[in-house]
Every structure is written in C-alpha cells, then in structure tokens.
Amino acid sequence: MLPIARLEALARRYRELEALLCTPEVIHDVPRARRLNEERAHLEGLMEAFDQYRKAEKDLRDNAEALADPELRELAQAEVGSLQERIAQLETDIQLLLLPADPRDKRNVILEVRQGEGGEEAALFAGDLFRMLSRYAEIKGWRVELMSMSEAAAGGIKEVIALISGQAVFSQLRFEGGVHRVQRVPATEAQGRVHTSTASIVVLPEADDVEVEIDERDLEINIAASGGPGGQGVNTTNSAVQIQHKPSGIIVKCQDERSQLKNKSKALKILKSRLLELEREKQDAAISAERRGMAGNAERSQKIRTYNYPQNRVTDHRIGLTLYKLDKIVEGDLNELIGALRAHHQAELLQRQVEGDSPGPSKSLLDARDA
C-alpha cells in the first residue's frame, strides 16, 4: 500500500520547487538555486512514477465502469488485466524511490586490493582483480589515481591502493568488498592441476575533511627512502611517508610520488577514509551485533565470489548468481553482476521497510556468506 498522503505532500513540494526556481530571487542566488535544483532532481523520478500511477488508476476506474456496458465489456476486460499489472509494477518502483538514499553512494572510493592465500598465484590474482576494476572504471569514465602499490617479485601485486573518482562511484563498487577466490591452472603448474587462491578487496567511501578531524599529536610520521624496482629515481630520495594513527593503531604508507608532501597528502586521505569506516562499523555494532559493514581488514570476511577459469564461470555466493562470461568480466564487463547485486540490496531494504525495520546496510551483501 502506497503512502498516498506522503506522496501528495512531496508532489506539492515538487511544484513549489519548480515555481521557486523561476523567481528572480533564486535565479540570482547561485548557491540556493543549486540546492533547490538538487532537491528537485531528487524528486523528479519519483514524481514521474507517481503521475503514471495516478493515470493508470484513473484508467482502471474508467475501465471498471465500462465492464457494465455489454458492448464494451470484452475490450475493458483486456485493458483491466494489463492496467493491474502496470499499477503493481509502479507501486514497487515508487516504494524503491521512497527508500532513503545512502549519502555515501555519491562518493569517490578508496580501493584496496591485497593478495591472500596462494602465494605467487594469489599475487597474480590480486593484479587481475585490480585490472578488472580499473577497466570497469575506464568504461564508466571514472579516474583511477594510484596511491600506493607493492609489487610481488614474481609478478602480480602484494597490495595496491587507489582513489577512484567520478559520478556515484561508491554506489557501483560498494559490494565488491570481501574475499574473492580464483580456481585455475597456474602457469607454473606442470601437471595441469587446478589451484585455488584468494585476494581481498576493500571499498571505502572517500572521507570529507569536515567528517574526520585528526589531531596531529595522534600521528607518528616516519620518512624513508622509497622502495621498489631498483635503479629508479624515486628510490634515491627520502620521499616515502608512513603515518601511524596512535589511537586506532592504523598504519598507512605511501611512496608512489617523488614528492614527500604528495605522499603525505595521499596517506592522510587513505587514513581518513579508514577512520570513517571504523567509526561507521562502531555505529553499526551499536545497532546490532550481527550487522557489520565491510571490514577494513578483509581477511576476516568470507568468500563472496569465485572465478573459475576452466569453466569460464563467475559465481557470486551472496545472491546465488552464476554467469558463464568470466572472460568478459575480467575485462571490466561488470554491469550485469553489479546490477544484480544492487537490485538484491534494494529488494532487501524494501522488505525491511515493509516489515517495519529501519533501512540500513544490507546484511547479506555486506556480510558475505561462505562459498
């Protein structure tokens, strides 16, 4: 059942916004005009769906009256069935549009990828995952800024941290966090046996400066020569920066830039996002001991997805989705997978709202099931 009174109040507000945006006072007040435009844009899709709902209901009433007319009954009966289906779909769409928006969805992302169990093969898999997400970001028109990388001796990545910026990045990547598992024959396997390795992904919304205040006295900052492949100029300067946040114990190191100042700035950006996620986890724990967000130390997470190369198969264990297009997915074709995860998340939020629970992060997606 739709909250008609609430929808009508929002419709009045939408009409008020349209009128205000045409007034000289608002037109010449750029900050106010921006705020009102954002509010109007937020309501626009909901109002379009509500208008279609009201029109479909009117058409249904008109057809119900036509059922009493013998000459129009057959035609009206056909229309009634399709209108009832249309109304049911619009009700679902409107309920989804009424769900509170997660303010983090519009944010940029601090992406962290680390090798897990499996030695050299795990490092290669971590590199594959980072390339997959980088390709997806490229397809979406986002920017990927490397903040820190530690390469493995035999190839692949021990750890990589990057800032991905663009439109609503967190809303698309939020469910990629967790432990990913690969099943394939390593290049070094002489007998063709399939090995299993893991790598972890952490997706953190970028923190605003106003949200996370850091006392300089809580920081221990160490400067050292950058490490990496030998012979490069970056190794000859004391530019690597390691920051330890003493109250939380979080340690961040950046060494990719030649400039010590730039490395410090990047390290602080990563630290703030980790502290913001830590605070969010504490708030979630206060609401429910069983409901936690994606852990910053992803080794505690259970496997969320399996990439099986011999079968060209990807299985997301949280929603039971299997796709036989691994070759395309590892090249960044993630739309179908991410779309299914987002739809499942919205359905869970809607179900909890129907049951009277307060909307919040999806437990089954952010707390991954075992494979």
Picking from 356, 327, 361, 329, the residue whose alpha carbon sits closest to that of residue 342 is 361
- Cα angle: 271, vertex 277, 283; to 5 degrees: 140
What would the pLDDT profile of 44-97 be if each residue is shown by its tens digit? Answer: 999 999 999 999 999 888 877 777 777 677 777 778 888 888 999 898 888 888
Picking from 365, 360, 363, 367, the residue whose alpha carbon sits closest to that of residue 321 is 365
Residue 40 pLDDT > 80, yes or no? yes
Tell me the average pLDDT across 320-330: 96
Residue 359 pLDDT > 60, yes or no? no
Domains in the chain with CATH codes: 4-98 (1.20.58), 105-206+308-371 (3.30.70.1660), 211-287 (3.30.160.20)
Local confidence band at 229 (pLDDT 50, 70, 90 cut-offs): very low
Q: Can you tell me which residue has the tokens 């997959």?
A: 132
Local confidence band at 190 (pLDDT 50, 70, 90 cut-offs): low
d(CA 83, CA 60): 6
d(CA 60, CA 301): 50
Q: Given this model, what pLDDT does residue 227 score? A: 59
What would the pLDDT profile of 237-273 be if each residue is shown by its tens digit? Answer: 567 888 888 888 888 888 777 777 888 888 888 888 8
In the predicted model, what is the mean pLDDT of the chain?
81
Whole-structure pTM value: 0.65
Contact 273, 148 (CB under 8 A): no
Residue 2 pLDDT > 70, yes or no? yes
Residue 118 pLDDT > 60, yes or no? yes
